[in-house]
Structure 1
Amino acid sequence: MKKTKSYKFKEVDLVSLRELALKVKSPTGFQLRYGGLLSILRTNVEEKLVHTLVQFYDPDFRCFTFPDFQLVPTLEAYSDLVGLPIAERTPFIGPGSSLTPLVIAKDLYLKTSDVSNYLVTKSHIRGFTSKYLPEKANLDTTCQDTREAILALLIYGLVLFPNLDNFVDMNAIEIFHSKNPVPTLLADTYHAIHDRTLKGRGYILCCVPLLYRWFISHLPSSFHTNLENWSYSQRIMALTPNEVIWLTPAAQAKEIITGCGDFLNVPLLGTRGGINYNPELATRQFGFPMKAKPINLATSQEFFYYSNAPTGQRAAFVDAWSKVRRKSVKHLGVRSGIAHEAYTQWAIDRAEEIGMPYPAMRYLSASAPSMPLPLPPATQGMYQEHLAMESHEKRMWKV
């Protein structure tokens, strides 16, 4: 077994943000402009579940490795959760290209003088205090467009891309301006977990509501209703591949980003640095069978901070995003929710190699991967509910 690590979670005044959200006159109109930010804001994150999940992070393959299967946060999954497409242009490329007050004012429907007067510097970082923005949004004289734009920016700065306490920094402002937050959100998710895994520091997790919503989208409905005598760690260690919900809304993507530029897989730039991830490991999450050990895994340490990035590495990441490789799902074969024995055995071996963070709760077998794996008696009742769910899911695969 490997040692578990501690993670910190940013404390955010969600009550004030949710009260401001009640002043949105047209949630549908807000969603058309800013995506699914309101649903993200209403997410009540179970921090213990997230803390348990990240213990399964596999730093070499940039995924979560469980006893006999793997799950991978993907660009397509985050796009679905945020309700915004991955734009056909280079995303946020890191700190250094500050927007002018004129541009920020247009984004927030404010006067340029207001932006100039209230942009401040905190710990050598430019931005807005979270006190000024809510006060401006709550004024009776503030127009609806301004109120909603400020709410969206507050969610970016305090919930999705938190940095300094009670402060919306220039990184969040620039990502908000880009209208292309998905690659940066995924980058920050991986970067924060990877850093903590490698260096053992108390790194604050980023994009926690998205990570949480992504994970629970793969969990069976019985996961939470049968926890009376189980801890999160025990329940996750008892999960079988047949219990996992593979066919999430993200699986309906028509194209998958498989790589960028000269990189074997997908390089990502976040607010703190760069990292890569392996979409090939998510093949099953897009509805296609995992047949054997993936052959295009990037095991090189594509991980850096902007403060100490090797010469040219950041520029190479930026250039790669001008050459995005996409694959149509039509070319991935016949949809199927199974994994072949060769892959399942490889996943089991990988889990043994890196070590699981908690004791085993069931036996493992790769001999019949499309059949339910044996469960301890305490989970047999849970599994009956899943059998009906699996039958429905198989019918969906045939559509």
Structure 2
Amino acid sequence: MRRPGLKDDVAYSFFDPDISVLKDMIALIAPDHVGLFREMYGGILKMVFRLMDRDRSVVHTLLQFYDPELRCFVFPDYVLGPMMEDYADILGIQIRDQVPFYATKEEPDIGGISRAFYLSPEVVKGNLKEKGKLPGFHLSFLEAKAKEQSELGNWEAACALIAASIYGIILFPNQKNFVDINAIRLFLLFKWFVGYLPSKGAFVLLGQNITWATKLMGLRAKDIDWTHSSGVGQDFICSCRGFPNVPLIGVQGCINYNPTLLKRQMGFAMELPPYKSEVQESVYFPVEGNQARVKQVSEAWRSIQRKGKVSWGRANNRSFPPFDDWLSKRVGLTCLPFPMVDPWYPLIEETPSTVSMDEFLEMKRERDRLLTEKTELEMSVARVQRVNQELKVKMEDQDKRHALEAKRFEMDTAYYGKISQALASSNREHDITKERLARASKVIEDEKRRQILVRDQRDDQVRVLIAEWEAKLKIIAERDHYRAERDHYFRQMKIHQKEVGRLQQENTELRFAAEFARMEDEIGPSVGPSSS
């Protein structure tokens, strides 16, 4: 949309993840292990929050000030831009001189992932899925494993799984058009920007009906809280090997930012306009199809150049006319997104006076000295305030832990009281059971004696029966022997009878023969007539 004298209004789409699962996972961390998580992964737990509509309005308004060429946000008389040191301060982690993570088409290192998550290689390999052309894990898998490890008391593993989920869902999600300004992460950007806004005075007292565009256009450089970061006055990353600025690697692509324009955020003065080589677009391309360039950027992080007091002197976060003139021309060239608004802190007109050059130079030196002292005092106050805030947070944490311990003590006392009652009841039941067992033992002994008596009687009966059966068997044997002898006698009788019959037959035949012979003898030879 064209607006005369103003920058075009740009619409942005904001990613709004469901953080309910992450909150459930964070709830798994026992209070006495929060310190372990913070020690291992910094302050990323505080990044799990949901932005309200008003917070989104802040970010949307801020993004209208973005200058794509300078890679920062340009306001009426100052510039701001996220730096690695800012995010490190927000997250409570250190910037290490090492090759950062970058998207690669190579096979995932199963062993490395296994060691990082404290899981077996088989489990890692079996649950590694691909989404958006990059391998990863479903949140449900990480949640289940985090619960499992916390129940087992493996807190290092549980913390690793929870941290991986926060990084994947909140800090560095894999979205389309990651390099595009439309995909700037809300959570870190919101946290970063509100840290520089005034925390007191007219700006804070503005009504809710005043838009953020009007609020921000009424701010000037002197209103910004330049000293809120813990890294103020320290050396910071200005460039990496082969690049005039700082290249960054995201899940979807690479982009650079220009630390030379952001020295004031680290407490150093903006004296001169930046050189063109310091603010040129050195990196801006997608990961897809540019693996060689991505690797070149990652290798550049092996050689980090830092600058600070040695290069720019003591911290005083001021800006000088040469830089102010350059910035004013830049604003006139690119335009601001909203109409100008009078400062929320009106300038006080000074009464003109005439002084000598010596007096002027002396007053200038004194003013510079006082400004320097003021800056140092403000930084000291800021540090003291941060220390006090940290102590306050620690005391609140201790109070919470004490309250939790007291509650646990009450719960334990009630629990042990119930256990004592249960033990007393158990003792009574034990005595009753013991008495029942004694009676049962007596019954068992009586039953044993009765069984022994019955067994003896049974044995006697068995012996009597055996004797009777032996006698019966003897009688049966004698009977069988008698029957055998009788049968043998009968068989012999039959044989004798047959023999007697035969002999009688023979005797009869002999008598008949003898009788016949006798008869022949008695008859003699027959007498007949003679033949002569």
**What's the CA shift string for 1:12-44, capped at 9, x where partnerless?**
222321232122122111111111111222474
Matched residue of 1:348: which SS?
helix
Tell me the amino acid that sits aligned with residue 288 of structure 2: S
**What's the CA shift string for 1:220-254, capped at 9, x where partnerless?**
11445524231111111111111100112243363
C-alpha change, 1:363 and 1:120, in structure 2 (3 Å) is closer
Structural mapping, 1:113-262, within 5 Å: 113-139=122-148, 141-142=151-152, 143-163=154-174, 192=178, 195-196=180-181, 203-206=182-185, 208-222=186-200, 223=203, 225-252=205-232, 254-262=234-242
Tell me the amino acid that sits aligned with residue 180 of structure 2: D
Matched residue of 1:248: which SS?
coil
Structural mapping, 1:80-91, within 5 Å: 80-91=89-100
Tell me the amino acid that sits aligned with residue 183 of structure 2: I
The residue aligned with 2:506 is: none
CA–CA distance in structure 1, aligned partners of residues 205 and 117 of structure 2: 43
The residue aligned with 2:333 is: 353
The residue aligned with 2:78 is: 69
**What's the CA shift string for 1:27-86, capped at 9, x where partnerless?**
111111111111222474611111111111111111110111101211111111121111
- The answer to whether the 8 Å contact 1:259/1:324 transfers is yes
CA–CA distance in structure 2, aligned partners of residues 325 and 248 of structure 1: 24
24, 27, 38: which is aligned to 2:34? 27
Structural mapping, 1:101-112, within 5 Å: 101-112=110-121
Matched residue of 1:249: which SS?
coil
CA–CA distance in structure 2, aligned partners of residues 227 and 293 of structure 1: 37
**What's the CA shift string for 1:281-309, capped at 9, x where partnerless?**
11111112111212253223531112254
1:218: how far off?
Answer: 0.3
21, 36, 47: which is aligned to 2:43? 36
1:360: how far off?
Answer: 1.3
Are 2:306 and 1:299 equivalent residues in the alignment? Answer: no
CA–CA distance in structure 2, aligned partners of residues 270 and 79 of structure 1: 16
Tell me the amino acid that sits aligned with residue 23 of structure 1: L
C-alpha change, 1:81 and 1:233, in structure 2 (3 Å) is same
**What's the CA shift string for 1:346-396, capped at 9, x where partnerless?**
2222122111111211279xxxxxxx6649xxxxxxxxxxxxxx9976623
C-alpha change, 1:119 and 1:397, in structure 2 (3 Å) is closer
CA–CA distance in structure 1, aligned partners of residues 216 and 373 of structure 2: 22
CA–CA distance in structure 2, aligned partners of residues 12 and 52 of structure 1: 21
Matched residue of 1:257: which SS?
strand
CA–CA distance in structure 2, aligned partners of residues 135 and 96 of structure 1: 28
1:325: how far off?
Answer: 1.2
Matched residue of 1:236: which SS?
helix
The residue aligned with 2:10 is: 5
Task: Please say which of residues 247-256 and 151-160 is displaced more in the overlay.
Answer: 247-256
- The answer to whether the 8 Å contact 1:10/1:162 transfers is no
- The answer to whether the 8 Å contact 1:278/1:298 transfers is yes
Matched residue of 1:242: which SS?
helix
C-alpha change, 1:164 and 1:216, in structure 2 (3 Å) is closer
Tell me the amino acid that sits aligned with residue 36 of structure 1: G
C-alpha change, 1:33 and 1:94, in structure 2 (3 Å) is same
CA–CA distance in structure 2, aligned partners of residues 2 and 219 of structure 1: 23
1:99: how far off?
Answer: 3.0
Tell me the amino acid that sits aligned with residue 96 of structure 2: A
- The answer to whether the 8 Å contact 1:337/1:397 transfers is no
CA–CA distance in structure 1, aligned partners of residues 282 and 309 of structure 2: 29
C-alpha change, 1:285 and 1:123, in structure 2 (3 Å) is closer
- The answer to whether the 8 Å contact 1:250/1:286 transfers is no
For structure 1, the residue ranges without an aligned partner over 5 or more in a row are: 166-190, 197-202, 365-371, 376-389
C-alpha change, 1:250 and 1:7, in structure 2 (3 Å) is farther
CA–CA distance in structure 2, aligned partners of residues 281 and 145 of structure 1: 40
CA–CA distance in structure 2, aligned partners of residues 264 and 226 of structure 1: 41
- The answer to whether the 8 Å contact 2:233/2:315 transfers is no
C-alpha change, 1:91 and 1:58, in structure 2 (3 Å) is same
CA–CA distance in structure 2, aligned partners of residues 147 and 327 of structure 1: 38
**What's the CA shift string for 1:287-334, capped at 9, x where partnerless?**
12111212253223531112254x954343233222221224344212
- The answer to whether the 8 Å contact 2:233/2:314 transfers is no
For structure 2, the residue ranges without an aligned partner over 5 or more in a row are: 1-5, 349-371, 382-532
Are 2:59 and 1:59 equivalent residues in the alignment? Answer: no
TM-score normalised by L of structure 2: 0.59
Q: CA RMSD in A?
A: 2.8
CA–CA distance in structure 1, aligned partners of residues 190 and 25 of structure 2: 23
CA–CA distance in structure 2, aligned partners of residues 114 and 150 of structure 1: 13
C-alpha change, 1:123 and 1:74, in structure 2 (3 Å) is closer
The number of residue pairs the alignment matches comes to 344
1:204: how far off?
Answer: 3.1
CA–CA distance in structure 2, aligned partners of residues 321 and 101 of structure 1: 24
The residue aligned with 1:181 is: none
**What's the CA shift string for 1:253-296, capped at 9, x where partnerless?**
63211111222222222222222211011111111211121225
C-alpha change, 1:275 and 1:113, in structure 2 (3 Å) is same
CA–CA distance in structure 1, aligned partners of residues 22 and 102 of structure 2: 28
CA–CA distance in structure 2, aligned partners of residues 303 and 32 of structure 1: 34
TM-score normalised by L of structure 1: 0.78
